[in-house]
Amino acid sequence: MATTQPVYESVLRQALGLPDDQKAQLLEEILQHELGSAAENKRPFLEKLDEALARLKARMRPGVTAQEDPASLQTPGPRRRPDPAPAMEWLRLHGKDYGGQWVALDGNRLIAHGPDAEKVYAAAEADGAYLPLIDYIEPADALPFVF
Amino acid sequence: MIPMPELSFDVTHIYDSTDGVRIPLVISCGGKEVQTRGYVDCGAEACIFSNEIGRMLNIDIEAGEPKSFGPASGGTLHTYGHMATIEFLGITLESIVYFAKYPGLRRNLLGRNGWLSKLRFGLVESDSAVFLSHLT
């Protein structure tokens, strides 16, 4: 929204100008506030906030500089792959209810489902979850598969 | 009796016994990556993934190497090969993956060339267990 942009930029400049310990305190307060009112669909945002807070705290540790700390904001390493086990377990328990559909899962959270793969993928991207598991579930009455 | 050779493996995976030998994986190609699942298929000549997964990877599927496969059921499956990275159970392989020309392939297949050929692979169906090591 155009009218709030200058306010946002001003707040951002002030926040970025804070010393690291005050930035960490600010992030902590935002995280706690969001956790207090979090709906399940806020999880990706909360995870990113938590990661940012952890990186900032790591940077503040005595003797650790931004270059030395692999978790630094300046040099983020490759992200860890999500554990597929919760999604696999969800599929084992609930997959049969979604026969003939594509599903997108963030762990054991169903992000989207439907017969159109493109729409399910678009919904997963919009959700913001990191590397959701996306797969097609065969209909219960499908003939046995032979390639 | 022929003695069984002693084998060792780096990874064990217990699969869903009701569902076949299916493995969670991440496939990357052209800077994008998708987490999905693939079936181990010792009878498949190569790794064949659905058209839909190729589209999620934003690949120009038909720009790849054209190759047609003859399924056991007859007919022809038209595909296009692309170099891709497949990560599964802590193992990473660079392989040519063939993406179906048309949507509707029900399963992603991990076949001989590009997958089995790069692994030591053990299977105990009665325990729903697969055993894997990356051949280097």
Residue A99 lies in a domain: yes
Which of the two residues, A25 and B13, has the higher pLDDT score?
B13
pLDDT of residue B136: 81
**What are the extents of the domains in chain B?**
22-121
CA B61 to CA A134: how far, in whole Å?
19
Residue A71 lies in a domain: no
Contact (CB, 8 A) for B10 and B31: no
DSSP state of B34: E
Closest alpha carbon to B59 in B37, B32, B35: B32
User: Which 3 state secondary structure label does DSSP give B63?
Assistant: helix
Query: In Å, how far is A135's CA from the nearest CA of chain B?
Result: 5
DSSP state of A111: E
Give the residue from chain B lying closest to A99, CA to CA.
Answer: B106
DSSP per-residue letters across A17-64: TS-HHHHHHHHHHHHHHHHHT--GGGHHHHHHHHHHHHHHHHHHSTT-
Closest alpha carbon to B14 in B127, B110, B134: B127
Residue A74 lies in a domain: no
Tell me how many domains chain A contains: 2
Q: What percent of chain B has pLDDT over 90?
A: 86
pLDDT of residue A25: 72
Query: In Å, how far is A134's CA from the nearest CA of chain B?
Result: 5
Summarize the confidence of residues A49-78 as an average pLDDT. Answer: 49
Q: How far is CA B16 from the centre of its chain?
A: 17
B52 touches chain A (CB under 8 A): yes
Residue A22 lies in a domain: yes
Backbone CA torsion sign across B109, B105, A131, B80: positive
Cβ separation A136–B24 shorter than 8 A: no
* Amino acid, single-letter form, for residue B38: G
Q: What is the pTM of this model?
A: 0.71
DSSP state of A74: S
Cβ separation A117–B55 shorter than 8 A: yes
Residue A128 lies in a domain: yes
Contact (CB, 8 A) for B66 and B76: no
Summarize the confidence of residues A79-94 as an average pLDDT. Answer: 92
Q: What is the ipTM of this complex?
A: 0.92
Summarize the confidence of residues A93-101 as an average pLDDT. Answer: 96
Query: Is residue A133 domain-shared with residue A91, that is, in the same domain?
Result: yes
pLDDT at B130 over 80: yes
pLDDT at A51 over 80: no
pLDDT at A141 over 90: no
DSSP state of B13: E
- How many of the other CB atoms lie within 10 Å of CB of B63? 9
Cβ-based contacts of A104 with chain B (< 8 Å)? none
Which of the two residues, B17 and A39, has the higher pLDDT score?
B17
**Tens digit of pLDDT for each residue in B111-120?**
999 999 999 9
Residue A9's domain comprises: 2-60
Cβ-based contacts of B128 with chain A (< 8 Å)? none
pLDDT at A71 over 50: no
**Tens digit of pLDDT for each residue in B61-94?**
999 999 999 987 788 999 999 999 999 999 999 9
pLDDT of residue B35: 98
Which of A94, A102, A103, A135 would best serve as a mutation to test chain B binding (most B beta carbons within 10 A)?
A: A135
CA A120 to CA A68: how far, in whole Å?
40
Contact (CB, 8 A) for B64 and B115: no
A81 touches chain B (CB under 8 A): yes
CATH no., domain B22-121: 2.40.70.10
CA B8 to CA B23: how far, in whole Å?
20
Q: Which two tokens stand for residue B15?
A: 């699969």
**Tens digit of pLDDT for each residue in A10-21?**
666 677 777 777
